Structure 1
Amino acid sequence: MSAWVSVLDAAPATQAPAPDTDKLQQLKAQTHIDKWDASVWRAYVDESMKRADDSGDCNDARQAIEEYVAVFPSVTRIWVEFIAFETRMRAYDKLEALFTRCLRAVVAVPVWEKYLDYIKSVHSNAPVDRKEEARKTILKAFELVLSNVGLDRESGHIWLDYLKYIKNLDGLNSFELQQMMDLQRKVFHKALSIPLTNIEAIWKEYDAFENSLNKLTVPISPISPLPGRTRSAKKLLSERSALYMTARTAYREMKIITAVIDAASKTWMPTPTTWSEADQEVASLRAWKKYISWEKTNPLRLEDPSIVSARVMYAYKSALLMMRFFPELWYDAARYLIELGKLDEAAALLQQAVEALPRSLLLSFALAELEESRKREFSEISKVFDNLLTNLESWVVEVNQKYDAERDTLMALLRGGSDAAASSVVATGNSAEWDGERREEEREKEKERNQEIETKVEVARKRKIGKVKQAWSLVWVVYMRVARRSENVKAARNLFKQAKKSELCTYHVYVASALMEYYSSKDVGIACRIFEAGMKVFAEDNASPEFVLEYLSFLIQMNDENNARALFERALTVLQPEQARDIWSKFLSNEVNHGELANVLKLESRMKEAFSKDVDTPLAVRSMADRWAFLDIDFIGQEELGLSGHSAIARSSKMGGATAVRSGNIDLSSFSRPTNLDPVHSENIVTPELNKWTAYKPEAPDKVTPEKVLPFIPPNEVHKELQQMKQKQPMPQSQVQILQQREQQQQQAKEQEHPSSAPATMLVAECIAQLLDRLPPASSYNGPILPLSDILDGLRRLPLPVPVGQSRMVPISLQDKQIMNPGHSTANVFIQEFDQGGSFRGRGRGRGRFGIAPASKRKGGYGSDEDQRFRKR
C-alpha cells in the first residue's frame, strides 16, 4: 500500500484528488477488501478523526465510526472513542442518542462510566433552585450505573465515587443527613459483598466511617433511633468482616481463573472463528466457560438466588462481548434463563443472538423451539425460519462472488505472466522462435493452465456450496417438523412443495417429507410417491446413491419385497458399481437375514462379477465376515479372520447403532479424534477403556540364587573413591579402566538377546525398577556428590511400616543402572531373598529390608504374638 500511495502522491494535482482525501479513500477501499482486518479499520477511523479535528467537518468521521461499529458492535473501546469524539465536538444531542444505543447493548464499565461522567458534568453546576433536583438525578444515575455494572470487579472506583459523592453533599438538614448516612452504610454493605479490585480500600473506608460516627455505640436505625437499641461500631464491623473476607478470597480466585481473559481483552477484536487449536479464541472460550461455571457454584456463598443468577448472567453478557461469534455461549445463556423460568428474557436474548449471527442454525432453531413452547402463533415462528433461509440464500450469492473474483484474479496473474514472458522474448530479439509450432504449444499450455485454474476454483466452489445446501436443507427439515407439530401434516406438506422448487434442495428434504407422511398420516402411498419423485431428481439425473439407499431401506422396512427388488435393479442400471457398493451390501444383508438361500447365492455370484477386482483385497474378507455377522456379533471377522476394529465400527455405523462400540471389542484409541476445545466439548476428550484394565496380582519372585548376587567391593575402597571425587581430584587410571569396562559391559548387555549372557542382576520392586529405567545412567552424572552413608543411615532409622503382602519383584542389572556402589557396607540392605514359604529373610546382621528386623522378631510387628492376640480380640 505504501508504494501505491507514493505513486499517487507523485502524480500531478490536476490528475488526482487531494492527498488526504485520496489516503482516506484508499483506507476505506481496503476495509471492503478484508472486512475483519482491525488494523485497517483502526487506520481508517484515526485518519477520519484527524481530518475532522482539523477541518471541523464531522460527517466523514461519523460515517467511518458508524461503519467500524457495524462490523465490531461489541468492542467497548470503539464505543468509548465514539462517545469521546462526540463530547469533543460538543454534539450533545448526538451524544444522548449514542448513549441510548450503546448502554444496553454493551454492558461494560468504561461505557457506563462515560454516561455517569456526562450526567455529573451536566447537573453538577445547577442553579440553587434546581440543586435538589440535580442531586437526585445524579444519585439516580449512580444507582442505574451500579445496578447494571456494579457486579463487575472493575467497578470498584465507581462505588468509591458514589460513597464520596454522598459524603460530600452539603446543605442538608438533620433528617436528610441521617438519610444520607443510612444510604452510605447501605452502599458500603453492597460493595463489600462483591469481589472488587479495590475491596480492601473500600473496607478501610467503611472502618473509618463506622468509627467516625461513634467509637462506642451507633443506633441501629439512624433515622429513628430508640433508647437501648444501639450496637457498637466494632460489632457492626465484625458482622461485615465475614462477607468482606469471602469477597476478597473470591476475587483472588477469580483473578487466577480469568488470567487468560485479562491478557487477551486489551487487544481483542471479535472475528469469525476458524476453530483452530492455535487460535487464541479457543483458549479464551475455555477460560470464559470455566469462569461462568465458577460463578454458578456460588463462591460468595450468597443466600439470595436472584443475586447468584444476576452474577451468572453478567458473566454471560461479559463473555458475549468478546466471544460474539460463538453460538455455544448464546445458547448456554438462553438455556440458563429458561431453567430459571425467565422465558421472556431468554426469548429476547435469543433474538439478539439471531441478529448477531443471522446464519446460525443453532440459535434460530433454539428461538423457534422456545416460541413454540410458549404457544406462539405459527406465523410468528415461521418468520424465524424465513429469515434464516433468506440469509442462507444470500450466503450462496456471496460464495459465488468470492470464487468468481478468485478465478478472475488467478486468470489475470496468469495472463500477466504470459505477457511478461512474451515481452522478454521480444526484448531479446528471439521473437522468430515463437512462430509456428512454438506459438501453438504456448497456446495449448495456456489453455491447460486456464483449465487447471477453472477446475480448482470449481472444486472449491462446489465443496462450499455443498455445505450451504446441507444447511439450507436442514432448515427445511426442521421447519416441516415444527409445522407438523404446530399446525398439521398438511402445513408440512405445503412447505415441502416450496422447498423442492429450489436448486438448493437436497435429497434429505425428500426423505424427511416421505417419512413424515408415513409416520404421521400412516399413508404408505404418499410416502412412496415422494420417494419416486426423488428418484427422478437425484437418481436418474444426479445419480445420488445415498437417496437410493434410503429409499431401499424404507421399502425393506415396509416388507415390500417386490418393489425393493425392482428398485435394486433400477439402481444398478443408473449407478456405477463403486457408487452402488452400499446398495449391494444392504440388499445382500436383507437376503441373508430374511431371504432364501438360492437368492443369497445368486446375489453373491452377481456381486463377485460386479466387483471382480475385490477378490484378493481386504474388502472380500470383510464381506465374508459380514455374511455371518449379526448386530455387534462379529466373531468370525475378529477371531477367525483377524479383522481390526476399523471395519467393525464402519459396519456398526451402517447398521444404525453403537452396540459394537459398547461391547468393548473395538480399540477406539486407533481412531483420530478432534483435538480442539478439549475442556469445552466433552466428546473430544479421549477417555481410557476401563474394561481393558486388569487387576493387579502380585506374584512372589523366584528364589535368588547365589550366582545372581553381585560380589561386594570392600567399603574402604568406596570411601576413598568418594573422597577423591569430592576433592575434584583425578581418579586413578585403574578406576577409569574399571568404569570403562562397566560401560562396555552395559552396551554388550543391551545388544545381546540371550538371557544367559545378561550381566549380574538383583531383585527390586517393580515400581522401583520402572523408576530406574527412566533415570539416566550413572556415567552421565556431573553434579555434586551427596554423602551416601549419611543418607542410608537416615533411611535405616526411619520407622517404615511392614507391608502385608510382598510386592512383585523383578530382576534388574546392577551394571546397567549403577543404583548403588556395590562396595558400600550398607549395599546389602537392598538384596532380598525369599524362602519357599514366602517368608522374609534379610541379609547382613540379621536385618530385613532397609535394615529393619523381620516382623516375626519385632515386638508388636505384623505377624508377632501381640499382633495375633490383637486380631483374635
Structure 2
Amino acid sequence: MSETLPENSVKIENAVDGFSPHDPETWKRFIDVAETGGDGAQIREAYEALLKQYPNTASAQIAYLKYVLNRRVSMTTDVEQLLNKFLRTSPSVELWRFYLDYVLRVNVGPSPTTRETYALSHIGYDRDSGSAIWAEYIQFLRNAPEESTWDKQQKMDAVRKAQNQAVQLPLDNVEQLWAQLESYETSLNKMTAKKIITDLSPAHMQARTVLRQLNNHLQALGNSTTGGIFLPGPPTFSGQERQLIGRWKAYLKWEGGNPLELEDKDRATLVARVGHAYRKAVICLRYYPEIWFMAFTWCTSVGQTAEAQSLLNSFLRSGLEANPDSFVLTYAYAELLEKAELKKDQRDFSAVHAVYERFIASLRQNLARLTELDAEADIAANKTSEEPKDQNGILDNTSKSTTAPPPPYNPYKPELADRNRQFSSAWINYMRFARRSQGQTTCRDTFSKARKDMYIGWEAYEAAALMEYRCNAEDGRLVASRIFESGMKKFGTDASYVLAHLS
C-alpha cells in the first residue's frame, strides 16, 4: 500500500478493495496513513470503511470518536450521532464508559443518574461494569440532595434498590459493593440491616462463586482490548487457535447453563446476559461461522421472546455479512425466512431467493479465483517437467534420466474438486427450496439457471432428475430421462455420472 491516500472518497474505497479485507494489519496501516495525511474527510472515510468491515469493534469506534472530539472545530453533533449509532448494539463496557465520560465532559443530555441507568440497562450484567459504572452510579445516588423528608426516603429507596441489585451480580467489585451495602444499611437501622443482609446473602454468595468461575473463563480467553485497535483475523486453524475456539465454546455453554440459577421470572435477564456474551464472542471471532451458528442455535432454544427473536435475526444477518460463503449460516437463514413466509396468507419468497443467489454468487467468485490458481499451478508444473535443452533448443540427452520424475504436485486440484461439489450442492438445495415452496415450475426455472453456470457439476443434474422422477406423477420418468441424457453431453466421460445415470 502506498504512503499517501488518493484525493477523493471513491479512490479510498478502491484502495480498500486493493488489499485483503480480512487482513487486520493492513487495515491498521490504512488508518495510520489516513491520519498521517491529516485530511478530515479521508480520515472519516477510512474509519467508516473499517467499521463497515468490522462493525461493533469498540476499540475502532473509540479511536474514531476520539479523532472527532480532538478536531479543532466543534463536532458535538457528529459525536452524538456516532454514539447513537454505535451504542445500540455494542456490548462493550469501554464504549459505554466513553459515552458517560463524554456526557459529563460536555454537560449535555440527561442527569447523571439517568444516563447511568440507561447504560446499566444495556451492559449492567457485564463483569467489568462493576467498577466502571455500578460504583459510580451508587455514589451518585448517595450524593443526591435531600431537601425534604420525601426526598430522603426516595434517595434511600433508590440506593437500596441499586445496591441490592448489584451485589447479586458477578461484578468485578462485588465484594466491595457488599461491604458498602452492609455499612450503609447498618448506618440506617441495625435491625433492618440484619434482615436485608440475611435475605441477600444466598444470592450474593452465588454471585461470588459465579465470579470466580467467570474470571477463570475470561482469563483463558485472553485480553483483546489492549494494544490499540483490535481487529480479528481470518481462521488459520492452528493448534493454538483451535484451543482458543474451544475455550470460547466452553464459556458460551457455561453462560447458557444459567450459572446464577435465575428463576423463570427472571428469564428475560438470562436471555439478555447470554445474548451479551454471544455478542462479544462474534466480535472477537467474526470469521468463524460456527460461533455465529452457536448463537443462532441458542436463540432458537430459548423460546419466542422478543429479545431472543431480535438476536436471532441479527446474528444470522450479521454472520452472513462476515461469512458470505458459509453453508450452515446460509441454509439456516434461508430456512428461517422460508418458515416465516409459510405462516402468511400472501407469501413472497423473494427474500429467500436473494439469499441463495448471493450465496451462489459468492461461491462462484471463490471458484473462479481458485480455478485461476489451479491453472497457474499447472503451467508452472509443465515448465518444471519439460526436458532440459541446450542453448540452441536441442534436447540435452546427457542429462536425461532413465526414470522420469513424478509430475509436480498441484495442491489446488483436491480443493478445486471439493469446491465444485460444494457449489453443486448449493444449487441442489436452492432447487429443493424452489420445489418445496413454489412448486414444479419454479424448480425447473432454477435448474435452468444452474445448467447455464459454468461451474455446475453432474450432481445437480442427478438431483434435478430424481426430483422429477419422485415428485412428478404425470411425466416424471420422461423428464428425468431427458435431464440425464442432457447431462451426458457434458459429463459423459465422468464415470461417476454415468454410474448415477445407469442406476
Which interval holds the TM-score relative to the shorter structure?
Answer: 0.7 to 0.9
Counterpart in 1 of 2:130?
156
Counterpart in 2 of 1:139?
113
CA distance in 2, matches of 1:82, 1:402: 38
1:551 matched to 2:501? The reply is: yes
Deviations 1:344-401 (A, max 9, x none): 5423321222122111121111011112222353222212112212222333444466
Any conservation in 2 of the 1:292–1:316 contact (CA below 8 Å)? yes
1:326 matched to 2:288? The reply is: yes
Change (3 A) 1:151 1:405: farther
Any conservation in 1 of the 2:390–2:396 contact (CA below 8 Å)? no
Deviations 1:199-230 (A, max 9, x none): 111112212221232334xxxxxxxxxxxxxx
CA distance in 2, matches of 1:43, 1:184: 48
Any conservation in 2 of the 1:538–1:547 contact (CA below 8 Å)? yes
Instruction: Identify which of 347, 351, 357 aligns with 1:380.
Output: 351
1:66 matched to 2:48? The reply is: yes
Deviation at 1:31, TM superposition (A): 9.2
Any conservation in 2 of the 1:270–1:323 contact (CA below 8 Å)? yes
Deviation at 1:270, TM superposition (A): 1.6
Tell me which of the two structures has the higher relative contact order, counting C-alpha pairs closer than 8 angstroms and 6 or more residues apart: 2
**Count of matched residue positions in the alignment of Structure 1 and Structure 2:** 466
CA distance in 2, matches of 1:443, 1:188: 90
Change (3 A) 1:235 1:179: same
Change (3 A) 1:404 1:530: closer
Change (3 A) 1:530 1:311: same
Larger Rg: 1
CA distance in 1, matches of 2:49, 2:149: 54
TM-score by length of 1: 0.49
Any conservation in 1 of the 2:465–2:479 contact (CA below 8 Å)? yes
Q: Which runs of 5+ in 2 are unaligned?
A: 343-347, 398-404
1:293 matched to 2:282? The reply is: no
Deviation at 1:532, TM superposition (A): 1.4
Deviations 1:584-603 (A, max 9, x none): xxxxxxxxxxxxxxxxxxxx
Structure 1 SS opposite 2:98: helix
Q: After superposition, where does 1:161-310 map in structure 2 within 5 Å?
A: 161-170=136-145, 172-216=147-191, 232-263=192-223, 266=226, 269-277=231-239, 280-303=240-263, 304-310=266-272
Which has the larger helix fraction?
2
Change (3 A) 1:79 1:519: same
Q: Which runs of 5+ in 1 are unaligned?
A: 6-18, 125-132, 217-231, 415-435, 445-451, 554-873
Deviation at 1:471, TM superposition (A): 2.8
Counterpart in 2 of 1:224?
none
* Residue identity opposite 1:547 in structure 2: Y
Structure 2 SS opposite 1:251: helix
CA distance in 2, matches of 1:366, 1:63: 34
Deviation at 1:184, TM superposition (A): 1.8
Counterpart in 2 of 1:795?
none
Any conservation in 2 of the 1:31–1:41 contact (CA below 8 Å)? no
CA distance in 2, matches of 1:266, 1:35: 22
Instruction: Identify which of 453, 456, 460 aligns with 1:502.
Output: 453
* Residue identity opposite 2:481 in structure 1: C
Counterpart in 2 of 1:367?
333
Deviations 1:88-138 (A, max 9, x none): 1242222223223322343211112112222233336xxxxxxxx842xx4
Counterpart in 1 of 2:277?
315
Change (3 A) 1:107 1:263: closer
Any conservation in 2 of the 1:83–1:114 contact (CA below 8 Å)? no
CA distance in 2, matches of 1:286, 1:266: 22
Any conservation in 2 of the 1:74–1:322 contact (CA below 8 Å)? no
Q: After superposition, where does 1:742-757 map in structure 2 within 5 Å?
A: none
Counterpart in 1 of 2:105?
121
TM-score by length of 2: 0.83
CA distance in 1, matches of 2:18, 2:180: 53
Any conservation in 2 of the 1:258–1:287 contact (CA below 8 Å)? no
Q: After superposition, where does 1:202-601 map in structure 2 within 5 Å?
A: 202-216=177-191, 232-263=192-223, 266=226, 269-277=231-239, 280-303=240-263, 304-342=266-304, 343-376=309-342, 377-399=348-370, 438-440=391-393, 459=410, 463-522=414-473, 523-539=476-492, 543-553=493-503
CA distance in 1, matches of 2:258, 2:136: 28
Structure 2 SS opposite 1:153: coil
Deviation at 1:477, TM superposition (A): 0.7
* Residue identity opposite 1:314 in structure 2: H
Deviation at 1:487, TM superposition (A): 1.5
Superposed CA RMSD: 3.4
Instruction: Give the fraction of aligned pairs with identical amino acids, expressed as a percent.
Output: 29
Deviation at 1:330, TM superposition (A): 1.2
CA distance in 2, matches of 1:159, 1:78: 25
Any conservation in 1 of the 2:168–2:204 contact (CA below 8 Å)? yes
* Residue identity opposite 1:42 in structure 2: K
